[in-house]
Amino acid sequence: MNRALFKIWHFLILLQHIQKSLAMTYEFIMEDERIFSDCKDKPPGTLDVNDLFDFTNTTFQMSESGVTLSGCKTVIWDIQPTDRVELAVSVLYFDRGTWQPTTLNMLIKDFCKVMFDEKQVWYDSYSKHIQNAAEVNNTCYRVKGSPIIFEEYTIQPVFSSGMIIKSGRYAMRFMHSAYDNNGLVRPNKICYEIKGEFKKSSQWK
């Protein structure tokens, strides 16, 4: 191997190890027993989480260890089974009475394709606990009337970050968009937020 290329390769490996060693783990402490709240200043015509799911048969219970979830939610989003579902997540910080954008953002072009991917940030606190996973893996959020059944578990979202997250209130904003077979976005987008605070759950790795 060329010496210059070897040095670059060695540097990239070293950088990767440094980034991992500097990563900190944070737990997201939710402030609302019902978990979800409406998006503020959402675009006209945008729907909320209650237009995505029917939570009639879902149980939420807040305790010191987090929100315990059990039961079943039913998809009621009126899109087509062949649609592509895009998920955009942005994190807002509450500062001096207003919600301010941060650099913590994520865009998943095809959420249904990776919904049960164990490497995804939501897997341990969400997809892992779906009992009818084989069915949901096919229907995702695209089939109106399809159930998503949960085992009883306590939601404890944990995130790793290479940057220090300052204390305070945060809102994780979720925007779901459906695209038809022609790549055209449907008008019935879904927007909702989960509010809480980040708490450092471990020391430097």
Q: pLDDT tens digit string along 114-149?
A: 999 999 999 999 999 999 999 999 999 999 999 999
Q: Does pLDDT of 7 surpass 50?
A: no
Q: Give the pairing of strands 98-108 and 190-200.
A: unpaired
Please check the confidence at residue 164 and state whether its pLDDT lies above 70.
yes
User: CA-CA distance, 118 to 181, in Å (whole number)?
Assistant: 27
* H helix or E strand, kind and range, residue 13: helix 3-22
Task: Tell me if 35 sits within 8 A of 155, measured CB to CB.
Answer: yes
Write down the pTM of the prediction: 0.83
CA distance 47 to 50: 8
Confidence of residue 175 (pLDDT cuts 50, 70, 90): very high
The answer on pLDDT for 168 being more than 80 is yes
Q: What are the boundaries of each domain within the chain?
A: 3-200
Query: Can you give the pLDDT at residue 58?
Result: 98
The pLDDT score that the predictor gives to residue 202 is: 55
> Mean of the pLDDT values across residues 41-68?
94
- pLDDT of residue 205 exceeding 50: no
Q: Residue 20 half-sphere exposure, CB side, CA atoms within 13 Å?
A: 6
